[in-house]
Amino acid sequence: MFYKKSNTNNVKDIQIVNLYVDDIQFLGRDEDKAALMMDLLRETKCVDLGAATKFLGMVIERTDVDITISQIVYVEKLAKRWGALIAGKGAATPITRDAIKQMQEVTTIAEEERTPEDEKRKATYQAVLGALLHCLKTRSDLPLALCYYAQYSKGPAEVHLKWLVHCLRYVVSSKHVGLRYVRAEDDDDLTLRIFVDASFTDNEDVNFGCCAYIIFLGRNAIAWRTRKKSKLSVISSTHAEAAAAV
């Protein structure tokens, strides 16, 4: 990625160029993009395909007021690939408290104890988990659930695969969910806000809890993360939430 900042007529501007293998994307004001494109066409052999509608498996839709980015096509491929696992069923959430409790009650299967059936289950589990991790580019509702599921990828038992398939059903049934970026009307719409949350007493794991944050620029989510954090360094829920922001 390359970017250039400028200040023309007291108006701050930024131009961004994304280069991925043989694809190039220009981001910026229309007049700036047109000038860059003309320079590129003079120097190289390339084709202007117009406004991007797809990029790295993401579908980009535009209106006069917003841009929506989703992975509808990719999720439909997942539904087709694992149709037998999904069995036409949906789910309302990617994970539940019962799922967390049940998975924690069953230990993963050690390598020396695995049967051919266990190895087949492990391969399926890791393939589904890897496919769902790819959805994190546009789904801020998945990191917490996938953080739990990833803990059992070394030797998943039946109950672990059962709940991972539950998450797959949720993703397929909510395939239209994605990111929506709304045009800022003034500088007040560009305020940076950070929301943080953390668990302290609601997790069976006595050593670790989960913490998460999401960052908004105006009304638009621009970054998010969920991770495990040691409980040993905090003394309360309030302290856990403050530590999550660090």
| pLDDT one-digit tens code per residue, 16-66 | 888 888 788 887 776 666 777 777 777 777 777 888 888 888 899 999 889
Q: What SS3 class is residue 82?
A: coil
* CA 80 from centre of chain: 21
More confident residue, 204 or 166: 166
The answer to whether 224 and 185 have CB atoms below 8 angstroms apart is no
pLDDT at 6: 73
Q: Which of 77-81, 88-92, 109-113, 242-246 has the highest mean pLDDT?
A: 77-81
* Local confidence band at 135 (pLDDT 50, 70, 90 cut-offs): very high
pTM (predicted TM-score): 0.79
pLDDT for residue 204 is more than 60: no
pLDDT for residue 235 is more than 80: no
Distances in whole angstroms, Cα of residue 130 to Cα of each of 26, 124, 233 = 30, 10, 31
Whole-angstrom distance, CA of residue 186 vs CA of residue 59 = 27
Whole-angstrom distance, CA of residue 25 vs CA of residue 36 = 11
List beta partners, residue 209. 229
Please list, in sequence order, all residues whose beta carbon lies within 8 angstroms of the beta carbon of residue 242, skipping any fewer than 6 positions away.
196
Q: What SS3 class is residue 182?
A: strand
pLDDT at 244: 59
